[in-house]
Structure 1
Amino acid sequence: MEIVNDLEVNLEVIIPQKHHHFLLGVQGSKVHALSTKFKVQIRFPKKGSISLANGKQSQGQINGKVNEKAGVRPQDIVHITGQKDRCEAARDALLNLVPVTVEENITYGFLLFITGKKGKNAFRIMTKYNVVIFVPQYGSNIIKITGSPANTECARQAIREKMHQLKEEESDQKAGSFRLQVEVDPEYHPRIIGKIENKHNVTIQFPPFSDVKKNIITITGFKKNVHDANAAILALTREWHKMVTHTIQIDSRLYYLVRGQTVKKVMEKFKVSILF
């Protein structure tokens, strides 16, 4: 640390030059924000400064500690000028922005869903958290996330949450594929469709007319829903078995007199079903 005057000091911070572009941000926006926040001046070395000044080694700070033994390249030295406490606060904030790379193991089969079609999901995460995501080559499930420690951790958590969501969806799909075959008289098949499927959130498959086993229906859905639907079907069929059917002949020319509201009132009053 160099004392500039009674009020200001010049703090040297060692940050590898390869990270400078990231720390500067677009048109120096990140550094400008730090300078404004802490009221200090932050200067990065000019490009091409590759030799040691005056042939001497500089004693800068790595992670805030003086590095007296190792030779430091001038192109790795960032200067912070201002009041001592402000310089130290700015230094800590700057070091917290130095990018790190973390690896995340993606569950087999989920990589495409994480990255998205043409990498759209990965690009969305990179934009939101200001990180870079490296997608692995074929045969590997490990992705690399590069950015500031805080942003990298946020991006990693977002990816983990997405994997958790995918696992739940996969589990739901498996659970929702439970199947049960039930024997039901084909006469009752039309009555089952609306009453059971919607109420119990299941899918019921009826055999085609050409099928030998016309009385076998298949109920598909979550296990509990399927069993509830089966119980409801059995209860309905028992009730329908108790019913009787009477056929009445009516002149077709009189249909218009009994159809519509007239038939509906009769069915509601006597709790019967009338089919023409």
Structure 2
Amino acid sequence: MRWLVALDESECSEWIIGWMRAFPHSKQTVVTVVHVLAPLEVPESIGVSGQQLLLQQQSAMVEALLDRVRRLLEESFADVEVIVREGVPSSEILQVIQERRPDLVVSGMQGLYRSPGFTIGGVAQRLLSYAPCSLMLVPGKVQAGGGLRIMLATDGSEDAQRAAGVVAGLPGIREVTIVSVVRLLGSEKAVLERFQPEESRKMEAAFLRQRRVVARKAIAGCECLLRDASITVRGRVIAGHPAEAIVRAARRDAADLLVVGSRGLTGVKAAALGSVSQAVAQLAPCPVLIVKP
């Protein structure tokens, strides 16, 4: 198993390292740490010597950060590689991903919130759209310890089953809550309103009843995978817009980790179509593991 983690000089890097060390992983897991030196906007007024001093200070700060990161990770992982690049952070990180082909990329979420909405310019959003492997996004200060409270969202798809398989393979996991969303009527409701009120109510109830059946079946499919791994499972059908309902459930249960499957679309197609997994990553109060094919 190979992980790749993207770090900067912010305090979020400390939180990410702490989360990684506590997160269940195989003893054979190796880690690649990527740090990108973005170009400094150095004023000409400080002169050549001032510019050189500023660059030296940046280099010393980064070297100290990465030395500390390496020492911490070497206590928990089989091998740690550190890579320093210069350039645009998102582009350089994606290039290293192509070169190293990790199974999982770990990053902070700040890039999602540089401006209102889901911004393409943020590093995290670029990773969501373009990284070809699974992705774990860590929002702000989080704590991980024994007995992680994991919430797995499923819609019964192959992507959700794949995510359940990943959870089943995590060492030391004892309990998982599986949620499946009954989507409320949208355009169908406008059609039903053309019928007589009593008939419309009956048809609406039939629609929702069928969706609950599908949701329970989706939960049952994931339960089989997890129980085979001796994990205690709780299933719950929830209602609403998928991403909002999943995040609401995670907040109510104080989940430590949300796990969702993804179709694995990348590039322009992923950015244009969006997905439940991307919306969950934007809204979630806890780390999110997005499992791609």
Measured against the shorter chain, the TM-score band is under 0.3
Larger Rg: 1
User: TM-score of the superposition, structure 1-length normalised?
Assistant: 0.20
- Structure with the bigger RCO (C-alpha within 8 Å, sep 6+) is 2
